[in-house]
Structure formats: C-alpha cells, structure tokens
Amino acid sequence: MDCIFCKIIEGSIPSAKVYEDESVYAFRDINPMAPVHVLVVPKKHLASMDEVNEENSECVAAIFRAIPKIAAAEGLKNGYRVISNCGEDACQTVKHLHFHILGGKKLPDQMA
Ligand code: DGP
C-alpha cells in the first residue's frame, strides 16, 4: 500500500519515534506547528476517522490511552491539544488516521 505513515510504522521511511506499543506508533511531525507536535497513529491502516467502526475501534481506544503518556513524557504539564483532520474540508493530507498532539506553548483559542 502506498501510504507514508504505513512506511513510517514499518521503518522504511525514518521518523523520530516518541512512543510505540502493539497497536500504536507516535512520532514527531515533520512540519511542527508548536514546540511539541507529535502524530499518533494506529499501526493498522485506517484512512481516516470515517473508517472507525465497532470492529476496529479498539485501536482508537489504545491511541487515547497512549496520548496522556506521551504528553507526560513530553513535559506538557500545562495542557495540550489533540486534533484529527478528517477529509477534504478539514484539509486531511495523509490518508492514514492520525491524531496531532500540540503543546509546549499557549495555543490560539480559535479552532477554525
Ligand atoms: P493532516 O493535515 O492532519 O493530514 O496532517 C498530516 C501531517 O503529517 C502534517 O502535519 C505533516 C505530517 N507529515 C507528512 N509527511 C510526513 C513524514 O514523512 N514524516 C513526518 N514525520 N511527518 C509527516
């Protein structure tokens, strides 16, 4: 499959890994929008939030268990933001479900 994040997970494209478990991989965004900008992805390929269903949603639960561990490891004691862009209107550019963790500064209060 021609998916950049699948290639990062399998190691054929290098990444700055910050966390990994059986079903989750997390690495630094190549174009950081904040002092801490980590992408958290399921190892199983899902194109976006639209593909989450009763059969596969455990990987999303695993991601949300990992996020506070990653935030703590990154020193985000004062808060952080989690974003998942889904589809064209949200400007999703990589078609592999991912959650951005943004922090390390006061973030803008406008989401859109
Ligand atoms: P989104 O707009 O939500 O689809 O964001 C995709 C993010 O993925 C974007 O912030 C840049 C990041 N990204 C794209 N290609 C690579 C890559 O090869 N390596 C890393 N580390 N990040 C990437």
Closest of 40, 34, 112 to residue 78, by C-alpha: 34
* Alpha carbon of residue 75 to chain centroid: 17
Which pLDDT does position 95 carry in this prediction?
Answer: 98
What beta strand segments (E) does the chain contain?
17-20, 24-28, 36-42, 80-83, 99-103
Cα–Cα separations (whole angstroms), residue 112 to 40, 64, 86, 89, 91: 22, 23, 14, 11, 12
* 33 Cα to the center of ligand 1, angstroms: 11
Looking at the chain, the number of H-run helices and the number of E-run strands are 2, 5
Structural domains in the chain, CATH included, are 4-103 (3.30.428.10)
Whether 1 has a pLDDT exceeding 80, the answer reads no
Whether 110 has a pLDDT exceeding 90, the answer reads no
Q: Which residues are catalytic?
A: 98
Q: Mean pLDDT for the chain?
A: 97
pLDDT in tens, 13-68: 999 999 999 999 999 999 999 999 999 999 999 999 999 999 999 999 999 999 99
Percent of residues, the chain, with pLDDT higher than 90: 96
Pocket of ligand 1 (CB under 6 A): 4, 13, 15, 27-31, 39, 85, 91-94
DSSP H helical ranges for the chain? 4-10, 58-73
Whether 98 has a pLDDT exceeding 90, the answer reads yes
62, 42 contact by CB (below 8 A) = yes
| Number of residues written out for the chain | 112
* 56 Cα to the center of ligand 1, angstroms: 23
Which pLDDT does position 45 carry in this prediction?
Answer: 98
* 30 Cα to the center of ligand 1, angstroms: 6
